[in-house]
Structure 1
Amino acid sequence: KSWSPGRARHINASRRACLVARFGFIYAQERFDAETLLRTYIRDVEMVQRIIYTAAVESFYAAKMAYWKFKIHVKEALSLGHSGPESLEDAVLDYIVCHKDEYDVHASVKEVIRSMNINPKISFPPEIDFIVLSTLIQELCCLAFSMQTLIPPLDVAFGIDGELFNESKYYRSPDSDFTAAFVAYHVWPALVEDGVVIVKGEVVTKR
């Protein structure tokens, strides 16, 4: 089929819907599975949830960095012989969407685990390693990479311990103090589009 802006927008919208749904599924199922797995090693629920939240945030960061490197490489390659009707930028995006399998997700997984190993807020018992979360991290990296191909791209919101609880950004975990005004720690990041929250994250609030 020939390229047209209308068709491109329609495809973008349907891909966006699928990716947002996937983010929700990972939160509902795969995050829960990872939590169950970690609880066999770590009794501290807060630490388990902090680890998974960190894995999610770091996965998005690693995938975004990989995406930009990949995009530069593709742009350089395509610019040599590009001629309409779509712009070079659109051609690059189309190429990446069609060749996502060229993304070296395993390199991103290693990068995430490396970052987690030096994060002072999380720790693991010496007998195991963050590598047990590889499946979750890989899923998140692939999702985050695909989300960068949307217009506009999707990202996870920045969160910080002690931030004021924002009802439009987060749900409170059931074990929260519902009268507390501040976030004790994050369970899952919010998903944002152009700075606007489209899927709420989850936090624990405590006094």
Structure 2
Amino acid sequence: MDLGQIATDFSVTVPAVRGLISRRGIKIPSVSQGLRHEAFDSLTPDACYWIGFLFADGCVSYRPGHIPQISIGLAERDRGQLVALRDYLGCGNSISQTNPTQGSCQFSVRSRSLADRLIELGRYGDSIDERLVVSRDFWRGVVDGDGSLGIYKRAAPSGRTFAQFKVVGRRHVMTAFVAFLERNGIRGLSVRPHKSICAVGTTCGPAERIASLLYLNAEPALARKAEIAARMIVRQR
């Protein structure tokens, strides 16, 4: 059991658990032991997915005198996604419960190599590395972070159901996503303003085709969105 889980079970903070263990003279191994600093060097399908997910929901921060940090916070219901990311990175860092009342959790690692690589690939820039733009794994990661999929019922009297897809992000990211869809035969979508950012969305057949393009026979994926995507894909048949 990791320190984050112990802290959650006893409704205390991770530093409190770590302090108690240290005072008892128990040696705590480095949580970053085994961290794969080169995890994003080669753009494998798994690497592209996690890069996309971090592009959507992750934060890369630099502070003078400190090792750069990559952090990501999710709803408690998606804790398994943080466990999967931690497993991919090969470390034992705790997943802490940041807000028990709102049900949120957070995971972070410190690595100059990982942080610099995310920046190099376009995390905060005005363009995304072209190798990511053409990767369905990258876009599945983005959608798992900042997208939504669903099957909804139309208003009476029809009562029929329809599929819906939407993803939000900065304009250049959404423009790159539309270009990716067009390369794969899904045309007619546009980038529209959405509050302070932009969105790409559609319904019915196009939404189902996007779900198939991104999620059919694809791993990794956020479990609850993959389940919805599977139901959307079945509607095509």
Fold shared per TM-score above 0.5: no
Give 1 or 2 for the bigger CA radius of gyration: 2
Structure richer in helix, relative to its length = 1
Question: What is the TM-score with the length of structure 1 in the denominator?
Answer: 0.22
Question: What is the TM-score with the length of structure 2 in the denominator?
Answer: 0.20
